[in-house]
Chain A
Amino acid sequence: MLTPPQVVENYFLESRHMLLEIAAAFDRYDAAVARAANGNAQATENEKNSGAKKLAVMRKALEIVAQSHPARERTLALLELFATV
């Protein structure tokens, strides 16, 4: 079994990579919003509603991930959260 510092060390680069991918996805969304505001690539109302709900879930998921002392495992909380969309 790994020690706490070993867990951080072993998974730091992989976690860094995944967090950067998540950050890039949010930036990608903002860029798309800016393009849409300029009249490019308009979405339907259904797409907008679905997208807004999923975006809110993703933001909530990040809050859960960032908790230092969660009441229960973050993975369980996220799986339940993602089941709502």
Chain B
Amino acid sequence: MQIIQPHYHAIARTAQDYERMAMSGVVAVAEPAFWAGFDRLYPETFIDYFRQISEFEPTRAAQYGIRHFCWVAVNPKEAEDSILTREVLAQMPEFFAKPTVLGVGETGLHKSTRNECEALEAHVDLAMKHGQLVLIHTPHLADKAHGTQRVLEVLAGMNVDRERIWIDHVEEQTIKPCLDAGYWVGMTLYPITKCSPKRAADMLEKYGTERILVNSSADWGPSDPFTLQECILEYRRRGHSLQEAVEVFHNNPCRFLGQNPKFDILPISIETLIDQRANA
């Protein structure tokens, strides 16, 4: 089955991931800009990082037949530094012209501070002015519900195209308000700390498959890109058809990411071939 991994931090992973993902049917990954595990001090560090994910990483993925796309942003943790954020934001538009950059992300909230909220608004505003897609990170664990609500409040005060915004890391307590508000949502699968493959399958059954993405993130911490394939297996084991799985794990990423014409992978339909021998 062809799979698209819509949220994947490739620079934190080895080539073995690419090889195994390719063998399991992954045809494309999209890499949002994220936190490096420490707070960077200089805007130039971000610029080199954006060059890495927009210029170098596609060549590494291509060795395994995988298309690599990316997003640029100052992640929520480092967005607490307002001066740094402004300086990076000023240089982001030049990356929007790169052939594999899909938009602004992951912006969002970590502790939902005033600086973070202002940075989120500035990122979304920049994206809308430049016709870019937006990927929004929501906080983990204890601050999940509050932080997601703050994201919705910030967006509600802006003039945005909601179908071009993806709110990520939703769980059972946050998926409905995000969907009800008209945004795309993402369920991020982690071994321990976020959503699990089984719970994601539950939410797909409860809320349907429209405007829902599933990803496994996979970064430098305890994580596993193959939680995505675990979710596909769980979904199929419950009796959902191959085409239904394709709709969620391939076609939905095509539908959302394809709003940027640089993402040119099209939705696919599984056909049943007529057995010629039966007609002989």
Binding site for B on A (CB under 8 A): 13-14, 17, 20-21, 24-25, 27-28, 31
Contacts and interface: CB of A to CB of B under 8 A. Distances in A.
Contacts of B255: none
B206 A21 contact: no
Interface stretch (B159-167, B178-186, B197-205, B240-248): B197-205
10 contacts: A13-B192, A13-B193, A17-B192, A20-B196, A20-B199, A24-B196, A24-B198, A27-B202, A28-B198, A31-B202
A31 B206 contact: yes
B198 A14 contact: no
A13 B196 CA distance: 13
A17 B199 contact: no
Nearest to B190: A17
Could you tell me the dominant secondary structure of chain B's interface residues? Answer: helix
A14 B192 contact: yes
A13 B142 CA distance: 11
Interface of B: 191-193, 196, 198-199, 202, 205-206
A24 B202 CA distance: 8
A21 B196 contact: yes
A53 to B, nearest CB: 22
Contacts of B191: 17
B270 to A, nearest CB: 23
B119 to A, nearest CB: 28
A20 B191 CA distance: 12
A38 B35 CA distance: 47
B205 A24 contact: no
B184 to A, nearest CB: 23
A44 B183 CA distance: 41
A31 B205 contact: yes
Contacts of B193: 13, 17
Most chain B CB inside 10 Å of its own CB: which residue of A21, A28, A31 = A28
A70 B68 CA distance: 54
Contacts of A28: 198, 202
Nearest to B239: A41
A24 B199 contact: yes
A17 B196 CA distance: 8
A25 B201 CA distance: 11
Contacts of B196: 17, 20-21, 24
A45 B192 CA distance: 37
A85 B144 CA distance: 38
